[in-house]
Amino acid sequence: MERKNAWKKYTKEKREEVFSFAEQYKTFISGCKTERECVAELTAQAKAAGFEDLKEVVAAGRVIQTGDKLYAENMGKMLALFVIGRQPLEQGMNILGAHIDSPRLDLKQVPLYEDTELALFDTHYYGGVKKYQWVSLPLALHGVVVKKDGTKILVNIGEKEEDPVFGISDLLVHLASEQMEKKASKVIEGENLDLLVGSIPFENEGEEEKAKETVKANVLNILKEQYNIEEEDFLSAEIEVVPAGKARDYGFDRSMVMGYGHDDRVCAFPSFAAILEAGTCDKSSVCLLVDKEEVGSVGATGMHSKFFSYAVAEILEAMGGYNQVVFNRAMSNSKVLSSDVSAAYDPLYASVMEKKNCAYFGNGLVFNKYTGSRGKSGSNDANPEYMAELRRIMEDHDVSFQTSELGKVDQGGGGTIAYILANYNMSVIDSGIAVLNMHAPWEIISKVDLYEAKLGYTAFLKEA
């Protein structure tokens, strides 16, 4: 069964829309490299588009009705957008769910130390990474430091041209004979992913002799003077180490985008764009952006959190119709595209793919009927009735789409937030965009797949 390359259906003039949307996306992922940055930026855009804070609407005692645009934010790292539809909420919602966390390194709570007159930050990697990919790269620091009085200091160091960058050193090849014999998983150990941050001793008059670790002391002095951060403040900090630099066009034809965090912001961004574009639909529309997917969707800001169900309950109450039965109906009658990335076919690593059932660059939005691994373990397996409905919607709106599995049956696999939403008895399927270099510091996507995702998500909100 052949799927046509989506580029072929666009004239030169129409391709400008594809490239224009990709430019918006490049700006987004270049500036939003953490969950907090994503939520802050998209909340600002939502407000500009007329969305109101659900907490404020509830506090004011307002009745929520058709056409209302609402947002609910959770701890700065989780965001839900609602556009109330013409049908009662108990008839269900059309939900676009994606995650906004990405693999990275996190600073430990006591990160700064000195060794042989070098100052370093100790890190702990987050999510599934190939550790050797993170050495010898320019890295940046993004995050927040919260002082004891509640003051928040936003950290973003390494992105401006005048900023310093940081990095993790690697062993020179001349001395690496033993290292080169190790398995790839052991070439770089997790405890050796430490960031080099300074090498000049502290030289304040009369103070050098007092400091036992003079390079560390100098780094602390810089942190205090330039950023108002003291060593103890790291105890209440959340600082992420990410690749430094902007997303870039990739390839002579500029058909692709290289960037950090495509997994899964490449699904989050068109989901957000779709809810803005779709307007008021028959069913209520939801864009749900969550944290912690890369580590099991745990915690107060992961999909296992009750945050989303609490927000739906608040809306039902403000519409004058909350009770447990109505809530159950609203959730059970909902339909979901659990938007997460798929592995793109790579001819250099063809042995792990099954060509008939994998995703290809340029073939549009990807549907994964199931994910999981080795016997579909841990997967959400969508019903064929739901898949048939989605086929009809995509074809009616001329959306290019394809179906995929995540590699050969015994090769591996993965999971998404789909099974968690399915626990509410919702109809759920995984969908998203094909990615090369998934979970590497720099990932690759096709611009036309990004555009087809926006079209597909918009059509889903209007017609599912």
Determine the pLDDT at residue 211. Answer: 59
CA atoms within 13 Å, Cβ hemisphere of 174: 0
pLDDT of residue 415: 74
pTM of the predicted protein model: 0.94
Which residue in the block uniquely carries the two structure tokens 């592995």? Answer: 343
Q: What pLDDT shows up at residue 203?
A: 81
For residue 177, what pLDDT is reported? 92
Predicted pLDDT of residue 205: 53
Q: Return the axis-axis angle of helices 384-396 and 447-463, rounded to nearest 10°.
A: 110
- E strands, 244-361, where? 248-250, 256-259, 284-290, 335-339, 342-343
Q: Domains along the chain? A: 6-102+260-463 (3.40.630.10), 104-243 (2.30.250.10)
User: Which tokens is 46 given?
Assistant: 């939502």
SS3 category, 98: strand
Return the sign of the alpha-carbon dihedral for residues 41, 43, 48, 49: positive
Question: Within the chain, which residues score under 50 in pLDDT?
Answer: none
As beta bridge partners, residue 106 has 124, 240
What pLDDT is attached to residue 86?
A: 97
Residues 39 and 31: their CA atoms lie apart, in Å, by: 12
**Count of alpha carbons within 13 angstroms of residue 271, beta-carbon side:** 32
Q: Which helix (H) or strand (E) holds 104?
A: strand 104-115
User: What per-residue confidence (pLDDT) applies to 190?
Assistant: 93
Q: Are 311 and 290 in contact (CB under 8 A)?
A: no
d(CA 354, CA 140): 37
**What is d(CA 12, CA 14) in angstroms, rounded to the nearest whole number?**
6
What pLDDT score was predicted for residue 1? 67
CB 395 within 8 A of CB 418: no
**Which two three-digit tokens encode residue 331?**
């959730």
